[in-house]
């Protein structure tokens, strides 16, 4: 069934946006009487029927509202430096939203080459990943935050960088028995040793993703895959 993101509460009669209406009528070719699913991104699911199929302003009538419970086993925050090539960051968002992630904090670190992101476009990618993979919870994309501010204002978690030795804790071990996972992933040029020291002084623990040196976006997707698989 076609899914539409719509903020809660779902009123009894709902008008949807022009772009969504156009998609519904012109691309999906849905007509009056067809059913669609409204999602609020926070677990609410509203079964609705099209009462007016108008490509400018389609109207829906709510039939039934359900609430899906959020998984209780873990909460995953990835604080990650957006990549110079935005496609790579967008891939990370798409794949992580398919796999399951709760919160993404784009961070600005000393070696960040990308200093601007477009939240609206990035949120659309998250919505599409969530729809695609049959989930009900939309990951929260926060504003671009400095590395130091993030570390100062969040409970300590893990930091991944390329200078780790053989004895560094593997991420797979680090997350065992944890419920709130919070991991810092650096830009293409890696975190500086000053940043690593700053995080460690704030009780962040260094972790490794194995023998390969992963690109920023691959590291992000790896964390989403492993957390969802192991917790």
**By rule CB under 8 A, what string of x and - marks binding of each residue 159-188 to a copy of itself?**
-----------xxx----------------
Which of 98, 102, 195, 206 binds a copy of itself (CB under 8 A)? It is 98
Residue 213 in contact with a copy of itself, rule: CB under 8 A: yes
The token pair at 130 is 């969530």
> What values do phi and psi take at 105, rounded to 5?
-115, 105
43: left (phi over 0), alpha (psi -120 to 50) or beta: left
Cα separation, 92 vs 216, in Å, equals 9
Q: How far is the CB of 171 from a copy of itself (least distance, A)?
A: 8
Q: Residue 223: which residues within 8 A CB-CB, separation 6 or more?
A: 76, 78, 171, 181, 183, 185, 209
Cα separation, 151 vs 7, in Å, equals 31
For a copy of itself, which is the closer residue by CB, 38 or 175? Answer: 175
Residue 132 in contact with a copy of itself, rule: CB under 8 A: yes
Query: If we measure between CA atoms, which residue out of 13, 66, 21 comes closest to residue 39?
Result: 66
Judged by CB under 8 A, which stretch of 18-26, 30-38, 98-106, 147-155 contacts a copy of itself?
Answer: 98-106
Residue 221 in contact with a copy of itself, rule: CB under 8 A: yes
Q: Which residues bind a copy of itself (CB under 8 A)?
A: 91, 95, 98-100, 132-135, 170-172, 209-215, 218, 221-222, 225-226, 228-230
């Amino acid at each position: 069934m076609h899914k539409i993101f719509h903020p809660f509460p779902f009123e009894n009669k709902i008008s949807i946006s022009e772009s969504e209406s156009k998609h519904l009528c012109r691309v999906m070719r849905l007509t009056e009487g067809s059913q669609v699913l409204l999602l609020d991104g926070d677990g609410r699911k509203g079964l609705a029927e099209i009462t007016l199929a108008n490509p400018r302003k389609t109207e829906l009538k709510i039939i039934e509202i359900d609430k899906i419970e959020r998984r209780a086993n873990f909460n995953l925050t990835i604080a990650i430096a957006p990549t110079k090539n935005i496609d790579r960051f967008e891939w990370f968002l798409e794949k992580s939203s398919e796999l399951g992630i709760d919160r993404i904090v784009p961070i600005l670190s000393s070696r960040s080459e990308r200093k601007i992101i477009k939240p609206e476009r990035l949120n659309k990618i998250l919505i599409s990943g969530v729809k695609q993979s049959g989930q009900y919870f939309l990951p929260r994309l926060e504003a671009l935050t400095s590395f130091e501010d993030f570390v100062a204002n969040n409970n300590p978690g893990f930091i991944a960088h390329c200078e780790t030795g053989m004895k560094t804790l593997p991420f797979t071990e680090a997350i065992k028995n944890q419920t709130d996972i919070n991991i810092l992933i650096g830009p293409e040029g890696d975190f500086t040793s000053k940043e690593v020291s700053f995080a460690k002084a704030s009780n962040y623990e260094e972790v490794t993703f194995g023998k390969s040196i992963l690109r920023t976006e691959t590291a992000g997707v790896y964390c989403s895959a492993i957390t969802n698989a192991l917790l």
